[in-house]
């Protein structure tokens, strides 16, 4: 088995390498003067089972091209099997046509990865489960819920918890986490825009008064939804509000928005590396999913069950 990484999330790749006690394959990912990407692998990979670790996070297009070119280089170097390990699968939010003459970009990216030469895909908390069907190759979708549930239980085990979905579409995700937390009560934030140009009115479905609320989502981008939901929960009498999200995109002024919000803390995983450490005095904290991904990689290489990770 070989592990190879490009430039998107090297800290996570090194953590997975340390867990598996397998060194990262030596390779160089360079750019020509016109920003064309060039990949050179410095080790023999003929007949090897190779795992390419690369999140397609910001800058999404650069990191996607790095992934595709790494896969092509491995295929041409006669690797036996190539697994694209995508802790964060970019373009996942474009999984359907929201209007006429719009693309389904998630399917396009799935096609690109397959045509480049990947034999298998491993990802974490895909934005929508049907994205697995966009790939014509085996696809494993891991869940960060066990990692989050363990953290929540360790920190808030004796509190009265309510798991909250920030929108109706995330109810299944919230219910799954609530089940892991000894069937904690569930609440839903119902967002409605009364008319164009007016701010959203948030109604809380469920009892949150005097309780510690855990907002759960898969992606936090601008953090506007989570911050507004936290304010609405506080107005309904919630004691404290914490948010857990798998993928911390945190674009623009998201970090500043979180620090000024009613959220006590936002917890994200290290599926995305933003290039700099989080502020020590801020409200954002990171959980590592390196053991989860490493164990899945080991099981794929050994041809054993991945789904049993979540039993």
Task: Give the residue numbers marked as catalytic.
Answer: 191
147 close to 153: Cβ distance less than 8 angstroms: no
Look-up: residue for tokens 């799954």? 176
**3-state DSSP: the chain helix, strand, coil percent, rounded to 5?**
35, 25, 40
Cβ contact 86:208 at 8 Å: no
As given in the structure block, the two tokens for residue 296 are: 């899945």
Q: Which residues, in sequence order, are CB contacts of 170 under 8 Å at separation 6+?
A: 216, 217, 218
Length of the chain: 311
Known binding-site residue numbers: 34-36, 93-94, 127, 167, 193, 217, 221-225
Helix (H) or strand (E) holding 135: none
Contact 50, 83 (CB under 8 A): yes
How far is it, in rounded angstroms, from Cα 256 to Cα 231?
16
Would you list which residues are annotated within the binding site for ATP?
A: 34-36, 93-94
Q: Which of 14, 4, 61, 50 is nearest to 270 (CA)?
A: 14
Q: Are 197 and 219 in contact (CB under 8 A)?
A: no
Q: How far apart are alpha carbons 175 and 178 in whole angstroms? A: 5
Q: Which of 156, 174, 139 is nearest to 246 (CA)?
A: 174
Residue 238, token pair as written in the block: 């919630």
Q: How far apart are CA 46 and CA 26, in angstroms?
A: 14
């Amino acid at each position: 088995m070989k592990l190879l990484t490009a430039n998107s999330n090297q800290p996570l790749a090194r953590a997975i390498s340390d867990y598996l006690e397998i060194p990262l394959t030596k390779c160089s990912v360079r750019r020509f003067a016109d920003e064309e990407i060039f990949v050179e692998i410095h080790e023999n990979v003929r007949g090897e089972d190779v795992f390419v670790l690369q999140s397609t996070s910001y800058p999404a297009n650069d990191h996607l091209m790095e992934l595709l070119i790494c896969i092509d280089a491995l295929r041409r170097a006669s690797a036996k099997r190539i697994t694209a390990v995508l802790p964060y699968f970019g373009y996942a939010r474009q999984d359907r046509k929201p209007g006429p003459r719009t693309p389904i970009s998630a399917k396009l990216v799935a096609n690109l990865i397959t045509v480049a030469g990947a034999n298998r895909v491993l990802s974490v908390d895909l934005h929508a489960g049907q994205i697995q069907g966009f790939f014509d190759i085996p696809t494993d979708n891991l869940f960060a819920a066990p990692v989050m549930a363990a953290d929540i239980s360790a920190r808030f085990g004796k509190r009265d918890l309510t798991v909250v979905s920030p929108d109706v579409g995330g109810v299944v995700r919230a219910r799954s986490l609530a089940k892991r937390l000894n069937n904690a009560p569930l609440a839903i934030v119902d967002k409605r825009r009364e008319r164009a140009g007016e701010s959203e009115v948030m109604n809380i479905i469920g009892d949150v008064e005097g309780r510690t609320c855990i907002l759960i989502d898969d992606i936090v981008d601008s953090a506007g939804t989570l911050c507004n939901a936290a304010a609405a929960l506080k107005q309904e009498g919630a004691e404290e509000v914490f948010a857990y999200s798998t993928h911390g995109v945190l674009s623009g002024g998201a970090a500043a928005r979180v620090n000024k919000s009613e959220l006590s803390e936002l917890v994200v995983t290290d599926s995305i590396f933003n290039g700099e450490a989080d502020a020590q005095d801020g409200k954002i904290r990171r959980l590592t999913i390196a053991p989860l991904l490493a164990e899945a990689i080991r099981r794929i290489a050994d041809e054993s069950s991945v789904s049993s990770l979540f039993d």
